[in-house]
Chain A
Amino acid sequence: MSGLTDILYPFFVEKLPYITIAVFLLGVALRAARWLSAPRDPGKRPVSVFAAVKYVVLDVVLFRKTFKSDKVTWLILFLFHVAAGGILFGHMRGFHLWSAEMFAPLGEWVAEFMVEVLPIYMGWLFIATQVLLLIRRGVLEGRQLLSLPNDYLALVLLLITTILGQGMRIFPPEAIPPETYSVVFIPGLIVLHLEKVPSFHWFFLHVLFTQLFVMYIPFSKLVHIFSGVITSALYGSRRAEYGI
């Protein structure tokens, strides 16, 4: 490390996480305030918990409706979300929510597969499906859809973040200062622990872009990660109310 990175690096792993969490929470609060400031829907709709859960599982988890209308897009979307979930799960190990040892009873190779092999494949799958979704959007742009700038920004930001994360795994590790083995988001509560010393430049940029991505979530279309669950649940309730 030298020059500017000497200053920036500690900032990105020591200070920026606090800003990231703050911006994310502020964004969620602003978004929620925007929704709540709008008038209520007229009439009282009964909420059917069973129907709401059923349609969240069918439509959000399994993408049933996409499967019915477009099998190819369903496959890409499904694999995209499987990869996203897999990578998110992988990161949870860094937050000490699980460990390789938990898989050891199933065999050493399983534990090794979970922490060494699977993440690489998940990374490639995530990149490939994002590229395909980006191409799909580009092909349909102007004919079937009209993207807003943030539709692309969200996808591009995620793609850069993923490529950087994958690069971190592929390129040989370099020495980084020991204090950066941990990235503290909320002291004692949300702390990312690094087991190995990753490739410095890739790690440096991955940390930066991941935080930019997290900050951007509540201000972007990525808000559908949360709101899509609510709208699907409301749709399920509507179907129950209509008896269909």
Chain B
Amino acid sequence: MASKLEAGKTREALGRFTRRQLLELDTCAHCALCTEKCPAYAESKVPNYAPGVRSSKTARLVNKQFGLWARLLGPRPVTAEEVSDLAESAFNCTLCGRCMETCPFGLQTHELWTRVRELVYALGGTLPNVRMLDEMLEENQNPYGLDADMRLDWADYTDLEEVPEKDRAEVAYFVGCTTAFKGANHEVAYSIASILNQLGEDWTLLGEDEWCCGSPLLLAGNEEGAREFAEHNVEALEARGVKTVITGCAGCFRVFKWEYPKLLGRSPRFRIIHAVEYLRDKLASGELKPEPFRGKVAYHDPCELSRLGGVIDAPREVLKYLVGDYIELPEHGMDVRCCGGGGLLQAANNDLRLAIVKRRLGQAAALGAEVLTSACPACKLAFVDGVRASESDIEVLDIMELAARQLGLL
């Protein structure tokens, strides 16, 4: 027998859909034009993962409480089974936003699916692994459950001599958890730090004072948690008088730039740029003169940097300075096919993540790419895992690592 959820809680959670989101749920014609473009559906063929199916199921729940019949005859209860089913759909999604780019009506699905995750979270339907991640974030302020004093381990491992932690600085490098705690990304942090040192920037790290940007909390559906993290980070950065925050993480960048103003109700008193934008400017001004890399290099747009972040040209402009033989992958830019590394899919369904990344790696391999670059630590991790799983010989490098290498810093 289906177990009904508490009415008041359900109504409150379903009542959090905004005007635009209700309009979007009503507009979705369930045409399925987004389905084949969805990486999660394309690799799994599970109907429940299709964006249109998620939209139908969400609309059904909303209509149970706020639809016309609910207004005339009274709201109908939502069951735990329905929420669990919706959770399966919501978390088997990379939140890459490709369905938004495909939707004939331009439904802003990235925000809609995030709201669905919030609904699931509020009704206690979050998947166990995602719940665990949420708990680790609350306890350790990072999604890996590691102590804060390990945030600077990357500097020890890479023998970086100067790691500034100042009370005041013009520039702050916000490393991000996936770069700081994951060995495969330590050289990304090293590369960015080395470039900042080479250019003599007045820069600092937050060190142990750096908390997760809050992106995984938002992706888990915990908006309140993300707000707390945003407040902490902005306070820490503003207290140091920072004018510019640089990050090499596409997820951190998107959240700082596009979510923090919404979470905080104001814009932070600093600008946020991705490291590739900084690098582009320094290459264009002639302050950095790299030796061009000889070999075929492809670039994968991180969804959170390109489609969801608005940075598409900067990495390509950087690669003009770094690479002699650049290959443009199919399905790039606004239409980029996700690598599978986003949306907490690794926690929800790692097999699906690997299937998605193998497809993307296959596209790079088919074009004869020797090096596959990106500008996101989650993409890099996904590609590294994909290379291992598919025994590919493509070298995976962050664009900042390639730059540091061609500048003789790495």
Contact = CB atoms under 8 A, between A and B. Distances in A.
Contacts of A43: 261-262, 265
Contacts of A42: 18, 262-263, 265
B104 A145 contact: no
A41 interface: yes
B105 A228 contact: yes
Residue from A145, A151, A238 with most neighbouring chain B CB atoms (10 Å) = A145
A244 B37 CA distance: 20
A79 to B, nearest CB: 15
B57 A146 contact: yes
A18 interface: no
A66 B104 contact: yes
A69 B52 contact: no
A39 B11 CA distance: 13
B66 interface: yes
Interface string B21-35: 111101111111111
A151 B47 contact: no
A39 B35 CA distance: 29
Contacts of B312: 244
B106 A147 contact: no
Given A39-B16, A73-B33, A145-B50, A224 B105 contact: yes
B60 A144 contact: no
Contacts of A55: 106
A230 B23 contact: yes
B33 A244 contact: no
A15 interface: no
B121 interface: no
Interface in B263-308: 263, 265, 306-307
B324 interface: no
Contacts of A148: 30, 56, 59-60
A34 B52 contact: no
Interface in B355-403: none
A231 B68 contact: no
Contact of A244 (B59, B106, B265, B334): B334
Nearest to A56: B106
Contacts of B138: none
A144 B35 contact: yes
A221 B47 contact: no
A69 B102 contact: yes
A40 B18 contact: yes
Contact of B23 (A39, A231, A242): A231
A31 B26 contact: yes
Given A41-B19, A59-B104, A145 B31 contact: yes
Given A59-B105, A65-B103, A145 B22 contact: no
B101 interface: yes
Residue from B21, B28, B57 with most neighbouring chain A CB atoms (10 Å) = B28
Contacts of B45: 143
Contacts of A146: 30, 47, 50, 52-53, 56-57
Tell me whether chain B's interface is mostly helix, strand or loop, or mixed: helix
Interface string B60-100: 10000010100100000000000000000000000000001
Contacts of A68: 102, 335
A223 B27 CA distance: 7
A57 to B, nearest CB: 12
Nearest to B59: A148
Contact of A238 (B17, B71, B108): B108
Contacts of B31: 145
B41 interface: yes
A35 B29 contact: no
A183 to B, nearest CB: 27
B27 A228 contact: yes
Given A59-B106, A145-B32, A39 B18 contact: yes
Given A43-B261, A147-B56, A38 B22 contact: yes
A234 interface: yes
B106 A66 contact: no
B209 interface: no
B218 to A, nearest CB: 12
B15 interface: yes
29 contacts: A34-B22, A36-B19, A39-B15, A39-B16, A41-B18, A42-B18, A43-B265, A63-B104, A69-B33, A140-B32, A144-B35, A145-B32, A145-B56, A146-B52, A146-B53, A148-B60, A224-B27, A228-B105, A230-B23, A231-B106, A232-B106, A234-B106, A235-B106, A238-B108, A242-B310, A244-B306, A244-B307, A244-B310, A244-B334
Closest 10 CB pairs of A and B: A235-B106, A242-B310, A145-B32, A43-B262, A144-B35, A144-B32, A42-B262, A146-B56, A227-B27, A146-B53
Given A40-B18, A144-B36, 19 more contacts: A38-B19, A41-B18, A42-B265, A65-B106, A66-B104, A69-B33, A70-B36, A144-B53, A145-B47, A146-B30, A146-B50, A147-B30, A151-B30, A224-B105, A227-B105, A231-B20, A231-B108, A234-B106, A238-B106
